[in-house]
A and B are shown apart, each in its own frame.
Chain A
Amino acid sequence: MPSERFRHSRLPQACLAGLLFLLPTAAPGAQDLDLASLKKQSQLVFLGTIEKVGAATEAGFPVDERTAVVRVDRVLRSTDPFRALNGREVTVQLSQEQPAAKGDTAVFFTRSWLYGKTLAVVEVGRGDPREAEAFTRKMQETDVKEAEEKLGGRIATAELIVVGTVIRVRPAPGEKGRPITEHDPDWWEATVAVDSVEKGHRPSDLRVLFANSTDEMWIDSPKLRQGLVAVFLLRHDQQEKGMPALRLAGWTALDPLDLQPPARIARLRALIKASR
């Protein structure tokens, strides 16, 4: 154990060291970073303080000179399970480009790596801690923008967009000779009564194929049910999902974004217009 005198004498030096390191290596601010790019690469963004370098929060985590234990001072962006990380330690594999020392505080942009008793993440970028609020605000803004862009992408590639009501569902007529597999989409066919056509040409008889399977391959695909009223983003003879040998010709809505609530029609129309 160090003596009281020794510990007292070290304290100011430690603080000084923290300052000395922090100031000359100040991380970029919100204006300087390519936030959109960083956000795409990172899933956990937090304001944190480096507590140990060359260490990890768990014995089983790999450690090298760029591994650090970082205290999460505030989660700025995450999925639900990890919004409660405030005050906890995580392991961060620091990027080679950034200096790191005990006591450094920064906004850490990280991507997922290990989940044990604690988390280990890989740093993809670092920001000035004084800009944490600005980062948060800008990420929220880009979240909205990205969601719109993603939806806009589905709209742009959709060949037919209608508002309608599912009036009947039934197993799709099977095609002979298709492979049998546990990942069969179990094609069903929904007959949709079209209320309005927002993009494309009104079909005389709209039948939408959907994957009724709850297999892992299809569990996220929309399951259409009788009475459903929605905006349908449809594509014909899709090439994006499932084994090619298992695909059926026809209209499909396979992405969760391909079904939108009618209440959003105004916004959707704006996006459709923008996509033209």
Chain B
Amino acid sequence: MNRPALRATSRIVLLLSLGFAAARAGQPQAVQVINMIPNSLSGETNRDSEPNVAVNPANPSQIAATAFTPDPLNSGSGPIFVSTDGGLTWTLNVVLPGGNRTVDVTLRFGGTSNVLYAGILRSDNSHLSLLRKANYLAAGLMTVLVDRANEDQPYTQATTVLGGPGVGLDRVYIGHNDFNAPAGKTATVEQSLDAATAAPPANLTSQRIEVRTTCGQDGPSIRPAMHADGTVYAAFFRWSAGCGGGSNTADVIVVRDNLWGTGAPSYQAITDGGFAGVRVATGVTIASLSTLLGTQRIGSSLSIAVDPRNSRTVYVAWGDGTTANTYTLHVRQSTDGGATWSADRRAIVKATNPSLAVNTSGRVAFLYQKLTGSPGSQRWETHLERSDNGFTTAPTDVILANVPDANGTYVGVNPIGDYTHMMAVGKNFYGVFSGNNTPDMANFPSGITYQRNVDWVGHVLKDLANQPVTVSIDPFFFRTTELAAQDDFYVRDWTDGPGNGDTGLEPSTHSVFYATSDVWNRRGTLPGTFVNDQPPSEPAGNGAGNIGDNWAFARIRRNALPVSGSKTVTAHFLISKFGTGSNYVDSTVGDPDLSFPDPDPTLNFTAADLGPFITTAWHWHLNAIASTHLCMAVEISAPGDPFVAPSLVGSAPGWPTTDLRVIFDNNKAQRNLSLSTTPARGIGGIDTYGIVHNAATFRRDIVLRTQVSPDVAPRLLGASIQLIGGTAQPFRPGDTIVIPDVQPGENRWVGLTFQTSGGKEGDTLPVELQEMVGNTPVNGFTLAAQLASINTVILQNLEIHRSVLTRLAAGGFDPQAQKEADAAASLLKLGDQVTESQYSDFVKSSSLTSLASRYLGTGADLFSIQKAISGLTSAVGSGVVDQVAVAHPALLNRLDSLVTQRALDAGDVADVLQMVRWQSDLYKQLPATLAPQCSASLLDQSAAFIDAYQQRKAGAKDYAGFLTPLFDCFDQTAKTLGSTAAESALATLEGSVSDPTALEKAHRAFLLALQDAVPPQQTTVAVK
């Protein structure tokens, strides 16, 4: 709303302002445009151009911006614009050292730190200074981190690491053209990996990103863009000719680094013709920097943005053309991390100042300023285009401003500035541009608000004394509302206490979202008693009957009340049933180890409801599988606010893939669950296994590190850890285990055995296994022993006995197995009345050991089942019930793991999506000479299936229908590659279409054969 000055404005101005406000009342404002000049500066006539804007991702109501605006009191320092209400009103804060105004200035907030960073060219000595300030509103100048000469156009980007290595640290990347660089390779990114906390110069280092020869330098614009997974891109113009003046011949180059700019060597993850960096466009001609489009100089228009949903999707926009009349902005997209690029998705003639941004739902926005009209009556149209499909079809276009190309008293060549800026926070876009400030509503088709005094009827600016003010150039802020607050439903990622929790920010701000979210499990149908407003999650039960019965809950909120109407929110739960790398499954997958008998619960929000509301108990059942760690997630959807694809289904929990999907989508939440195990009094212990699954689409070594807290370590007696198939080794906290050469979809097992020194009931002794990347844990799972009374242990052992033998019987192994299960069930009916002697007698008379031996057969005894049989036999012979209570579940757990392993060996429908992704990656790697003609079609169909699966529109039931039409192509591929193994696997595949589990196994076997037949690749895929 327009905000007239409280004291200074005349009555007529006040009335006119209110009239304007009334005209807009009640209208939905998808886009708001605000003239940023504060009311107290109503008399100013500066050229407030070349703007930049930074929204605080941790608090989007906090915004900072810049322009060529001087300090009105001539303090010798420069101001920035600040807003505390999301950009509706603006204030100047004098914080920039180096002169009353600043030449180039860009700025950005850290992701969660609230720290503001800036890169400037000082007007007093022309130096480049890099700055930071903890509180953007506070008085006082920003701290100078770096001050150097001969560097141009700093362009600042910043974020905070949300997970994985360096979590919590601010990362700052400032593109600049460094004339101090040797050999004319001037494109440079100045970066700091701990910018908020490190003492000046904050460990800032110069990364040279140009490796090719130039005509003497690169173009002025160097633009970095980061993804939360650590991918950093930078775009620049390599000038190959024209450094002597006049037009330049240039390549538009994009470089990439996969590890926050620390790759060895850095920014060389993609190559082109043997050089780091891919040429998006080659040999384009760019008009010299003195060329005018209207009254504005052009010649270095560049922008880059990366999709927060997928670091491999990146957009670049640039301008080229020999003359003003042919100067054209181009937009292209890459979906493979910058390795290859589309043709022009947009081409806008006679336009400049491009800015790109992508929001959390993948919507891409393109801001530019286009010159229209004839000389003498030319105008600048500022356009905002938005697309949900990467501009493959015509975008939605709104005109933010259509103002005269007239510049007041300024007569120079840079009236509106060399750049604009736009960024996305959550789903909304925030941007800034400069233009003529004539107060005419017709100039602002999307609406406009002025803070400075204006006479809207006479189209005249007024000063504080109500005297006319000549027009000039002002900065204009805009923001879009892609999802209205009343339509925004969310599940919290964290709650610290009553009144202090996640407000639905995207991305959310707490890195331990998986332990504090509003999705949780219970062993009964009640949601439990909240302590400190935090959901009381319980470990999941696994086993037959009510042992494996669990109920899921989610607490859902809405961001604002609507005017009217009700909305129904649907919660969809997912389970990742094993440890590291186990893909999420849901009710659509048909996983044999899980059942989901209930439909998705729904909640109705009336117009008076903000929530929070808790879903009804959602029943799910977990069979007796061997993992002691699993993850639960929820994806909520409401009309107008669906979850952001891709779904978690088919992907493994962990950093960075699904962690970022959860953090960046407030419709998703995740909680890690631990299963209780069965230790005994006095001499309790644990003998259990975790599964390690390679959820990637390439073979890799997986590195696990053991971790245990200092208070628990002394209580683990005789602990050993074993990679199944290898030798057990003493357990030492901090040791690493390398699981070598794990194929895509392959499962390996890690065993952990220890005795406890006893303790009180309820004590839990957890051991963490963390997946490592470098020196940092990026994922993990926990194996834990919980001390319990002997009665509790006996009952749990009987439950496991029943569960495992039921699994054996269900697999058609031996009818005796079912008799064993029934006997356990019969004894369990006595409940707490089961005596120690009854239990001992039951185990002694059981045929468990012989069944286990026969089930093991003559195959390799990877789980040391024979040793466990001996242990149980010995324990039974001792007559000591505690020993029996430890040895009994030890055999059951090993047997259960073997059952699970054999079940997974038969195929795993949880891996369907992974197999299709792997298939797609393999076909993309096929050299052109070996790729059959059908490859392109196969890739298209694979992409469509992946897309549908990730949107939960396809599942395992569609798997056979998807694969069958591809068999001919598979056959051609196998023949082209000369792979008899692939041909043989294809035959099995063709015979497996009736069973999704068998089909997955056969598909994997075919892909393994294909992988072996594909020649080694030049490019490697980074472990993420």
Contacts and interface: CB of A to CB of B under 8 A. Distances in A.
Interface stretch (A77-85, A131-139, A158-166, A268-276): A77-85
Interface string B33-62: 000001111011000001000000000000
A112 interface: yes
Interface stretch (B384-392, B412-420, B618-626): B412-420
Contact of B73 (A61, A79, A180, A182): A79
B139 A113 contact: yes
B72 A82 contact: yes
B79 interface: yes
A217 B121 contact: yes
Contact of A116 (B89, B94, B152, B465): B89
A176 B217 CA distance: 13
A217 B123 contact: yes
Interface in B238-253: 243-245
A114 interface: yes
Main secondary structure of the interface of A (DSSP, over half): loop
Interface in A139-177: 174, 176-177
A218 to B, nearest CB: 9
Interface in A44-94: 44, 58-62, 78-79, 81-82, 84, 88, 93
Contacts of B93: 113-114
A116 B74 contact: no
B137 interface: yes
A209 to B, nearest CB: 16
B243 A112 contact: no
B43 A81 contact: yes
Contacts of A184: 289
Interface string A102-119: 000000000111111111
A57 B413 CA distance: 39
B75 A112 contact: yes
Nearest to A80: B43
Nearest to B61: A60
B217 A179 contact: yes
A184 B463 CA distance: 35
Given A112-B71, A243-B152, A245-B179, A182 B414 contact: yes
A97 interface: no
A26 B71 CA distance: 32
Interface in B147-175: 149-153
Contacts of B90: 116
B177 interface: yes
Contact of A216 (B101, B135, B139, B244): B101
Q: A122, A179, A213 — which one has the most chain B CB atoms within 10 A of its CB?
A: A179
A160 B414 CA distance: 33
B464 interface: yes
A10 interface: no
A181 B71 CA distance: 26
A79 to B, nearest CB: 5
Contacts of B299: 182
A245 B138 contact: no
A213 B217 CA distance: 21
A244 B149 contact: yes
Contacts of A79: 72-74
B73 A43 contact: yes
A70 to B, nearest CB: 15
Interface stretch (B1-9, B720-728, B791-799, B968-976): B1-9
B40 A113 contact: no
B150 A113 contact: no
Contacts of A81: 40-41, 43-44, 72, 463-464
Contact of B152 (A58, A114, A179): A179
B126 A243 contact: yes
A117 B73 contact: no
A180 B297 CA distance: 14
Contacts of A113: 93-94, 139
Given A60-B84, A182-B414, A44 B73 contact: yes
Contact of A118 (B40, B73, B77): B40
Contacts of A78: 73
A45 to B, nearest CB: 11
Nearest to A177: B216
Given A111-B75, A117-B6, A84 B465 contact: yes
A214 B38 contact: no
Nearest to B463: A81
A215 interface: yes
Given A81-B43, A93-B139, A245-B150, A183 B126 contact: yes
B85 interface: yes
A174 B300 CA distance: 22
A181 B91 contact: no
A124 B72 CA distance: 18
A43 B74 contact: yes
A222 interface: no
A214 B414 contact: yes
Interface residues of A, number: 45
A4 interface: no
Contacts of A84: 464-465
B152 A183 contact: yes
B767 interface: no
Nearest to A186: B290
B153 A182 contact: yes
A202 interface: no
B531 interface: no
Nearest to A122: B139
Interface string B60-98: 000000001001111101010011110001111110000
Contacts of A58: 91
A76 to B, nearest CB: 14
A97 B125 CA distance: 34
B73 A112 contact: yes
A157 to B, nearest CB: 15
A204 B177 CA distance: 40
Contacts of B463: 81
Contacts of A15: none
B9 to A, nearest CB: 10
Contact of B418 (A182, A217, A241, A242): A182
A272 B512 CA distance: 70
A183 B72 contact: no
B414 A117 contact: no
B103 interface: yes
A114 B139 CA distance: 8
A271 B944 CA distance: 81
B411 interface: yes
Nearest to A110: B73
Nearest to A117: B39
B220 interface: yes
Contacts of A115: 38, 40-41, 72, 79, 91-92
A59 to B, nearest CB: 8
A265 interface: no
A196 B216 CA distance: 44
A114 B91 contact: yes
A215 B413 CA distance: 7
B772 to A, nearest CB: 44
Contacts of B412: 213-215, 219
B66 to A, nearest CB: 12
Interface of A: 43-44, 58-62, 78-79, 81-82, 84, 88, 93, 111-119, 122, 174, 176-177, 179-184, 213-217, 219, 240-245
14 contacts: A81-B43, A81-B463, A114-B92, A115-B40, A115-B79, A115-B92, A116-B38, A118-B40, A180-B243, A181-B153, A182-B289, A183-B103, A214-B410, A243-B152
Q: Sort A-B residue pairs by CB-CB distance and give the 9 closest, nearest first.
A: A214-B412, A43-B73, A116-B91, A115-B92, A112-B73, A60-B84, A117-B39, A112-B75, A179-B179
Given A82-B73, A115-B91, 7 more contacts: A114-B82, A114-B92, A176-B244, A184-B289, A219-B412, A241-B125, A245-B179
